Amino acid sequence: MINAKSSKFILRLNTFAFMVVLFWTWPYRLIDNTRNNCYFYVLEKLIACGGKAKWYKSNAWWGYHVAWVKDGIEYHYDMTREDRKKLPWWAIPVYYKGVVRTKKEKR
């Protein structure tokens, strides 16, 4: 049985492992700028426009999702629901053609 403490550890471990993969695959992002993921989207926005990052437990995989927050609005880079439904349950796409959704930040 997984308790809350070990569940948080697993989320962080999975996210860290994914970050290692992203580190070694970032040159692909420079070649194909039509595909992205939430981590690189937020990193690019933080460098170019400022703001802050907000982390969430992901609904799509056992890791974290990150949103870019600027002027009280959260910007989420994510796959469309239709594209996510086409993936097998075990697949975690590294780069994908996504959409940016906005949401007002709760205060």
Q: What is the pLDDT of residue 49?
A: 95
Helix axes of 38-49 and 4-31: crossing angle, nearest 10 degrees: 70
Distances (CA, A) of 34 to 23, 50, 67: 18, 22, 19
> What is the residue range of 49's domain?
4-104
One digit per residue, the tens of pLDDT, for the chain of length 107 reads 567 677 788 888 888 888 888 778 878 877 888 888 888 899 889 989 999 999 998 887 777 899 999 999 999 999 988 988 898 888 878 888 999 999 886 65
Beta bridge partners of 71: none
Total number of domains in the chain: 1
Q: What is the pLDDT of residue 15?
A: 82
Q: What is the pLDDT of residue 104?
A: 82
Q: What is the pLDDT of residue 94?
A: 82
Q: Indicate the pTM of the whole model.
A: 0.75
Q: What is the pLDDT of residue 2?
A: 63
